[in-house]
A and B are shown apart, each in its own frame.
Chain A
Amino acid sequence: MDKVMKWYEKAGAESDVVCSTRIRLARNLKDYPFAAKNTIAQKKEIAEKVKEAVLSGSSLMKDTFSAIPLENMKQEELVSLVERHVVSPEFISNIEGREIILSHDESISIMVNEEDHIRIQVIREGLALHEAYEMADKIDTLLSERLTFAFDDQLGYLTHCPTNLGTGMRASLMLHLPVLTEFGAMQRLSGNLSKLGITIRGSYGEGTQVTGGMYQLSNRITLGLSEKEAIENLQSIANQLITEERNLRGKAADNLMMQDKISRSAGILKSAKMISNQECLNCLSYVRMGVAANLLTGINIEDVNDLWVSVQPATLLTKIGKDLTSQERDIERAKIVRSKCENVKE
């Protein structure tokens, strides 16, 4: 059988800086209390309704999606869902009454009973805000033909947390900004962005740490702006960051110290016998930059993106399929990285 390509195995527009685009829509069913006030029985009812809307009878979506049974999953498989950005950390902290409905290429997920009853999420490789929104919009419209959402003329889609009111849309870009980080520009930028209703933070969302210069840029304001306006604002800020990062990379590419870091990182990834997640991501960050600047060949951006996901601890465990100590994990990680990087050349 043909293997379906996962979104993180492909590269997209502006892929030297933008790894992926994500659109998330929050929706709640009109006739049920929000998550914190729901009983388990109510959660199960909601899950059944959503599953039926997506997967049953005449649904157009039934061949694209399947429900993933969470209760049979091991803890590392659950964490791996987070590392692949399919679900949020909050979602796996307590799976009772929760449901995940996933498209076969993992690019569209419908989380049921997370903070809101329904969260539609679409991920696309590279910079593809409009395309990703269009898909999320279609899924939302199809769901609304079969489910009644809580909506208010003044406040828009009603959500558990008032920060999501209105469009219920969070648009995010995963940006690789290693040189802006190296030049210490991120602190200043983050303050300025916040004034524009845009947030920048670690790559797994709220409060997560920044590793390898990977950031998540997203809109904060959801009320008073249409989906299109919010997306265009985000796009224009992203364009500025991309330009700034590229300018600095252009200068850095001639810098012997930067070249040295890129070459050494490639060397480590090609020859390490064991490597920690942190060191691996730092090296991958330099290699990603080196590939984008044509300083390295023998590996492409897609492979680096794919490695970025597959070296994460739980994804690694899920792939290997057995319990590993942290040292064994570092050995397995090095094996994967070595085989992917064996042809890397300057």
Chain B
Amino acid sequence: MICQECKEKNATVHIKTIVNGQLAEYYLCADCAKEKGYGNVFVNFENDFGNLLGGFLGGLSNPHQIERCEHCGSSFADITAKGKIGCAHCYDKFREELLPMIQRIHGEAKHKGKRPGGSALRIPEPNRQMVVSETGILDAKKLKLKKAIEEQDFERAAVLRDEIKEIEQNG
């Protein structure tokens, strides 16, 4: 397919956007796409290098020698051609090759920030000694939980939910 913008080069980028209330799809060449801000992060980097290598080794390569991710079957060439990674395991498999590009995109390649699992949200309220009536407390807490959810205060809701669970299990 020919690029819809310059009508010269081959279209390699497919773009979806909204124009005047309609879903619009464009097929552009890499240059026109870049000009419009839709660059593939890998274009002009490893891809060209890969093609160069491909030129040298063209006659020799066969599918058995191409390294592929055991989980999704992506090769490194697949990744650079699309600019997208196949699966989480590809990051392990091709880590050495990917790191320079990742560094080029972000300037750094060391994560700072949130990690999954550890929730900083749950700090139980230490007020369980003054038990008057378990059911009264339970109802009150359930009411509070409902209110917290309505107010989208999930932090408080998480605490209340765990407290309710505890009372219900122990009671």
> Which residues of A are in contact with B by a Cβ distance under 8 Å?
28, 30, 32-34, 36-37, 58, 60-61, 63-64, 75-76, 78-79, 82-83, 89-90, 92-93, 103, 108, 135, 137-142, 144-145, 148-163, 165-167, 169, 197, 201, 204, 206-209, 221-229, 277, 312-314, 316-317
A155-B102, A207-B15 known; 17 other A-B pairs, CB under 8 Å?
A: A30-B88, A33-B87, A36-B82, A37-B72, A61-B154, A79-B21, A92-B23, A93-B23, A145-B119, A151-B116, A152-B111, A154-B111, A163-B41, A223-B102, A224-B110, A228-B113, A317-B21
User: Would you mind naming 9 contact pairs between A and B with Cβ atoms under 8 Å apart?
Assistant: A34-B72, A34-B84, A64-B149, A78-B23, A82-B18, A165-B106, A223-B102, A223-B108, A224-B110
B58 at interface, CB cutoff 8 A: no
B1-50 residues at the A interface, CB under 8 angstroms: 15-23, 25, 36-38, 41
Kindly provide the distance from the CB of B11 to the nearest chain A CB, expressed in whole angstroms: 15
CA distance A144 to B105 in the complex (A): 27
Which residues 102-124 of B sit at the A interface, judged by CB distance below 8 A? 102, 105-117, 119-121
A60, A148, A157, A222: the one contacting B154 at CB < 8 Å is A60
Residues of chain B with a CB closer than 8 A to A207's CB: 15, 17, 36-38
Closest beta carbon of chain B to A296's beta carbon, Å? 27
Q: A103-B152, A151-B115 are in contact. Are A34 and B85 (CB under 8 A)?
A: yes
Given contacts A34-B85, A139-B154, contact A163 B105 (CB under 8 A): yes
- A137 to B119, alpha carbons, bound, how many Å? 10
* Residues in B whose Cβ lies below 8 Å from that of A82: 18
Q: Which residue in A34, A150, A162, A208 is a CB contact (below 8 Å) of B105?
A: A162
Q: Is the CB of A64 within 8 A of B152?
A: yes
Q: Are A141 and B121 in contact (CB under 8 A)?
A: yes
Q: Which residues of B contact A (CB under 8 A)?
A: 15-23, 25, 36-38, 41, 71-74, 82-88, 91-92, 98, 101-102, 105-117, 119-121, 145-146, 149-150, 152, 154-155, 157-158, 161
- Report the separation of the CA atoms of residues A199 and B85 in the bound assembly, to the nearest whole angstrom: 23
Q: Across the interface, do B21 and A160 meet the contact criterion of CB distance under 8 Å?
A: no
What residues on B are CB-neighbors of A60 within 8 Å? 145, 149, 154, 157-158, 161
Measured CB to CB, the closest approach of chain B to A156, in angstroms, equals 3
Looking at the complex, which one of B22, B38, B114, B155 makes contact with A206 (CB distance below 8 Å)? Answer: B38
Point out the residues of chain B lying under 8 angstroms from A166, CB to CB.
106, 111-113
Chain B residue nearest to A144 in the complex (CB): B116
Please tell me which one of the listed residues A135, A154, A201 contacts residue B109 in the complex, with CB atoms under 8 A apart. A154
Complex alpha-carbon distance, A144 and B158, angstroms: 13
**Distance of A28 Cα from B145 Cα, bound (Å):** 29
- Residues of A contacting B36 with CB < 8 Å? 207
B15: nearest chain-A partner, CB-CB: A207
In angstroms, Cα B77 to Cα A334, docked, is 53
Measured between beta carbons, the chain A residues less than 8 angstroms from B19 are 209
Q: Is the CB of A201 within 8 A of B37?
A: yes
Closest Cβ of chain A: how far from B114's Cβ, in Å? 6
A37 to chain B, nearest CB (A): 5
Q: Which residues of B contact A317 (CB under 8 A)?
A: 21
- Cross-chain contact A229 with B119 (CB below 8 angstroms): no
Residues of B within 8 A of A209 (CB): 19
